[in-house]
Amino acid sequence: MENNNTIKETPLIEAKNLKQQYHLGGAFIKDESKNPFGTIKDVRNWYLFQEANRLKVDKLVLITSGNNGYSLAQLVKGSSIKVVSVVDRNLSEETKELLRKVTYQVIEVNLDHKILRPEELVAFAREKDDEVIWDVTNGYEENYLKVMNEILNKVKTNYIVVPVGSGGIYIGMVQAIENAKLSTRIIGIGVQNTSHSLADKLSTPWTPYAKALEHYQNLGHPIYRLTEGEVKKNYQTFKNIIDCEPSSSVIFAALQKHSFKPTDIVVFLNSGKTFINEIKLK
């Protein structure tokens, strides 16, 4: 039996207040919190699941701080695929308990002192020698093309602002722009704190995209990194504009960090909401 959840188009909301207050040609919010499980990761995971199901994969293992593991586990529900979530020991007990309820297994590791290679993650998840196991912590960034197309079908934008953790969303959006041969620029907003930021989805001490992130910045797609004070101030300022978590609200920091022209049309990508507050543990 396959999961019946499908990924539908999410809203592109005109933000007239941002346009007026910050003197822009136009401002819009692409609201990916309206995906089935409240995160843009639903898009990536839905396509990932289709491929894994087609190829009869037994297990999917990933490092997660909550949203990604929850999303993937819900999307494979009803199939034979098992999801193994590897989490930091310092992750909140509430989040770990929720993941235990929806995933096949939760493995706790001290991620502050250990960078796990894909083969190590697969070894953690393996119970039988003949199991087919994929590490899906990163990759599949091409699946964000759907999000880009939904934006470009509605508005001709100069900039799209996205959060940057490991960099998958940023890379996926830049590559979509390159493939379409457009002049639109991607702005990434990340954090300086790579361990325990309020913007926890963006705290990544290691990423396989490090050289790609540097390459695309040199091509004119800037990345700005916030101090912890800026993350907190930014969240308090913008959290009521749209249903977003701290890791998503960082996008609005581009209004202070980047020099936009009065004619610029800017799309802010709300990558998701705080799922733990939306779901009741049963």
- For the chain, the structural domain boundaries read 12-40+140-277, 41-135
Return d(Cα 147, Cα 150) in angstroms, integer: 5
| Residue 2: per-residue pLDDT | 46
Residue 51: phi and psi, rounded to 5, are -70, -45
**Could you give the maximum distance between any two Cα atoms of the chain, in Å?**
60
| For residues 70-99, average pLDDT | 94
| For residues 82-101, average pLDDT | 93
- Measuring CA to CA, which residue among 131, 144, 170, 139 is closest to residue 63? 139
| Residue 281: per-residue pLDDT | 35
| Residue 46: per-residue pLDDT | 95
| Residue 280: per-residue pLDDT | 40
Residue 113 predicted with pLDDT over 80: no
Residue scoring higher pLDDT (204 or 101): 101
Mean pLDDT score of the chain, rounded to an integer? Answer: 92
Residue 182 predicted with pLDDT over 90: yes
Return d(Cα 269, Cα 282) in angstroms, integer: 32
Query: How would you write the chain as a 3-class SS string?
Result: CCCCCCCCCCCEEECHHHHHHCCCCEEEEEEHHHCCCCECHHHHHHHHHHHHHHCCCCEEEEECCCHHHHHHHHHHCCCCCEEEEEEECCCCHHHHHHHHHHCCEEEEECCCCCCCCHHHHHHHHCCCCCCCEEECCCCCHHHHHHHHHHHHCCCCCCEEEEECCCCHHHHHHHHHHHHCCCCCEEEEEEECCCCCCCCHHHCCCCCCCHHHHHHHHHCCCCEEEECHHHHHHHHHHHCCCCCCCHHHHHHHHHHHHCCCCCCCEEEEEECECCHHHCCCCC
Could you report the per-residue pLDDT of 202-261, keeping only the tens digit for each? Answer: 988 788 899 999 999 999 999 999 999 999 999 999 999 999 999 999 999 999 999 999
Q: Answer whether 12-40+140-277 and 41-135 agree in fold.
A: yes
Percent of the chain with pLDDT over 70: 95
Token code pair at residue 260: 């936009």
Which CATH code is given to the segment(s) 12-40+140-277?
A: 3.40.50.1100
| For residues 172-183, average pLDDT | 94
Q: Which CATH number fits domain 41-135: 3.40.50.1100, 3.90.105.10, 1.10.10.10, 3.40.50.970?
A: 3.40.50.1100
Confidence of residue 115 (pLDDT cuts 50, 70, 90): confident
Confidence of residue 111 (pLDDT cuts 50, 70, 90): confident
pTM for the model: 0.92
